[in-house]
Amino acid sequence: MKFFFSFFSVFFCCLLSAQQTGYVDFKTAKANINFDTDQKKVFGTVIYDFKITKSVDSIFIDAKSMRIRDVRLYYDGMVPDSHYMGKVVHNYDNNRIWVIYNFEKKKDYKLTISYFSNPAKALYFVGWDNPSASSGQVWTQGQGKYTSNWLPSIDDMNDKIEFDLSITFDKDYEVIANGKLVSKEDYFGKNKWHYDMQNPMSSYLVALAIGKYNKKIETSKSGIPLEMYYYPEDSLRVEPTYRYSKQIFDFLEEEIGVPYAWQNYKQIPVKDFLYAGMENTSATIFSDTYVIDSISFVDKNYVNVNAHELAHQWFGDLVTETSGTHHWLQEGFATYYALLAEKDVFGDDYYYWELYQYAQELIAQDESGGSTSLLNPKSSSTTFYKKGAWVLHMLREQVGDKAFKEAVKNYLVKHQFENVETNDFIGKVEKASGQDLSGFEKEWLESASFNREKAFESLKKSSFMKTYLAVDCQEDVYKCADYLTSSASEETKIKVISQIPEQLKSVDFNNSLKVRQAIAQNLTKIPLKLKADYESLLDDQSYVTIETALYNLWNNFSEDRPKYLNKAKGIEGFNDKNVRILWLALALITEDFEPDNKPQYFEELTGYTYPDNHFEIRLNAFQYLKLLNACNDACKENLEQATKSPIWQFSKFAKDYLKTL
Ligand SMILES: [Zn+2]
């Protein structure tokens, strides 16, 4: 019986799986979610309402490696207290729940599933293992990981469902999910949070985040609440972290011309996030490495990620690709609109500068033979994001602002809450502009290579870029050095410094923070006559400059090492403690510097390898301990633990390093 049953379902699955969307339309999902953080377990119930569009004898719900406790099916006209009680034949193959029933066309059904799961991915418990940690977090990442690891749902992004999550959790935590918080009630000593969505979305955009948070709320021009979450200890970091958020929101709503589609917009930083940010519908989750102080802002801020994830609320969430072939409709658009928002904040030069950076990356990809068509689902991120943005830039130049904006608006309105393909967009642009775009499509969408001639022609429309591109210090060293005391752009000056660092003079230090940073980075052999100027870099309000200058000064002037160490003592740096960790390493190897404190410094450095630290701090500490050849037993144990991190770059580093020990 068992054999027959599984044979039947396997056979059946393969006939139908690609086409379920033609048979059934899932409308709403109401989920009740609970957690056991000690066991890293999720348990809950989800109720699906759906309509059958074509009679069929089974349907499925994706559910990865779960324990399914109960499945019941109800239908219109059912007698509620009949002995039937919703029991239905179902089969679970550890991947999908198959519900076997003679489903009739045009009828509505309700399916309830009770389950529990120890999700291997897509939902992460962070910081619950360490008893000394003050609080843990729970957060999700659906894209690329499948929400069906923690919530029985439909992996196919072409089935959009209105998800309402109710989550029960300890009272001293904040629980955030898609949509609007409609109520929070006491539930057997815990809180039960009810979130409501009004519009449908693909399941990869379902999200929740739990942790200890405060929030700051602003309101957009159009009246949408912008909820910005932060850890209670980070109140001074709220302003630099979320700087320009409201401006970006108002700009994008105006520029796109279609109102933001969701009830509110929440941004939640989490620890050890797998990516920079993720555009879950109305609830962007981002890495807390972007929660920064105002000194960090100049080198490492959240503005681009902020604008990118917000742009996805239209391009990705409101309209969603039908398949990976059209991935640029999400990433190319998000990259391009983020750039437009940054142009609004930082000005035109910034916009062209970033486009130029993207072009450099695309040219390098071309030269390495790695370029593929934008419509190839296996393309690189460079292609999807950066070529995608370039395509929109060039298309807008070709058809003009008015037609471009009208086309984008029509495209979004026509396909809102649906799935889209490249032709849906191009068709709208052709209609709005009256142009035949088949030549453009061939050149920019279908061709693998990047048309650098046309790209540079476009870049040179910016006089800032024109000057920048014209600078060549190989041609005329002396004229070139003059740029540093001229009113040329920072970028031009930085280019000059990288080409002729040996020509730097004392007066060249009278430049902006970014130009001085380039001096710190390029002038690694410091001439005596510039020693005092170079030392002044240690006072700059940039952690990149301080880190670089400290190392180079220490390296160049051994007699002054204690002086430099005393000067930089107590500076932590970015969230990854770049300055402090370098400082500790230098303090340990500077023989005459505080010999009595060395054991304490070593302990501090090793302490940063423990799992309660952010993975970037740990990575830095491991790297310096590796350089010092000083990874002790505690360090090794922490390295072993790091090999299990879901952040692949970090776990890979740990595995490689462990092998060498
Ligand atoms: Zn994106």
Distance CA 271, CA 613 (A): 9
Q: How far is the CA of 150 from the centre of ligand 1 (A)?
A: 23
Its CATH class, for the domain covering 319-465, is mainly alpha
Q: How far is the CA of 336 from the centre of ligand 1 (A)?
A: 10
Same fold: 1-210 with 213-313: no
Q: Which 3 state secondary structure label does DSSP give 500?
A: coil
Report yes or no: 310 and 277 within 8 Å, Cβ to Cβ.
no
Give the pLDDT of residue 12.
42
Report yes or no: 213 and 230 within 8 Å, Cβ to Cβ.
yes
Q: How far is the CA of 394 from the centre of ligand 1 (A)?
A: 20
Q: How far is the CA of 160 from the centre of ligand 1 (A)?
A: 19
Q: Could you confirm whether domain 517-660 is CATH 3.40.50? A: no
Per-residue pLDDT reduced to its tens digit, 433-442:
999 999 999 9
Report yes or no: 575 and 615 within 8 Å, Cβ to Cβ.
no
Q: How far is the CA of 335 from the centre of ligand 1 (A)?
A: 7
Q: How far is the CA of 3 from the centre of ligand 1 (A)?
A: 44
Q: In the chain, what's the furthest Cα-to-Cα distance? A: 94
Q: How far is the CA of 406 from the centre of ligand 1 (A)?
A: 23
Q: How far is the CA of 332 from the centre of ligand 1 (A)?
A: 8
Q: How far is the CA of 518 from the centre of ligand 1 (A)?
A: 30
Q: How far is the CA of 321 from the centre of ligand 1 (A)?
A: 13
What are the residue boundaries of the structural domains of the chain, listed by start? 1-210, 213-313, 319-465, 517-660
Q: How far is the CA of 267 from the centre of ligand 1 (A)?
A: 15
Distance CA 424, CA 420 (A): 6
Q: Which residues of 365-375 are buried (b: 16+ CB within 10 A; e: fewer)?
A: beeeeebbbbb
Distance CA 435, CA 397 (A): 13
Q: How far is the CA of 199 from the centre of ligand 1 (A)?
A: 21
0.75 cut: is pTM over it? yes
* Sign of the CA dihedral running 443, 446, 452, 457: positive
Tell me which of 3.30.70.270, 3.30.310.80, 3.40.710.10, 2.60.40.1730 is the CATH number of domain 1-210: 2.60.40.1730
Q: How far is the CA of 616 from the centre of ligand 1 (A)?
A: 22
Question: Percentage of the chain surpassing pLDDT 90?
Answer: 90
Report strand pairing: 208-211 vs 174-177: antiparallel
- The residue assigned the tokens 């000059």 is 496
Tokens representing 425 are 């967009």
Q: Which 3 state secondary structure label does DSSP give 49?
A: strand
Q: How far is the CA of 315 from the centre of ligand 1 (A)?
A: 9
Which residue spans within 474-529 are E strands per DSSP? none
Per-residue pLDDT reduced to its tens digit, 366-376:
999 999 999 99
Distance CA 343, CA 303 (A): 11
pLDDT < 50 stretches in the chain: 1-17
Report yes or no: 169 and 211 within 8 Å, Cβ to Cβ.
no
Give Cα separations from 238 to 173, 242, 292, 299 (angstroms): 19, 6, 8, 17
Bridge partners of 410, per DSSP, are none
Superfamily of domain 213-313: Neutral Protease Domain 2 (1.10.390.10)
Give the pLDDT of residue 131.
64
Give the pLDDT of residue 85.
74
Distance CA 352, CA 334 (A): 17
Q: How far is the CA of 618 from the centre of ligand 1 (A)?
A: 27
- The residue assigned the tokens 């979004």 is 412
Give Cα separations from 540 to 243, 487, 504, 534, 565 (angstroms): 21, 21, 18, 11, 16
Q: What's the first-to-final CA gap in the chain, in angstroms?
A: 54
Q: How far is the CA of 389 from the centre of ligand 1 (A)?
A: 12
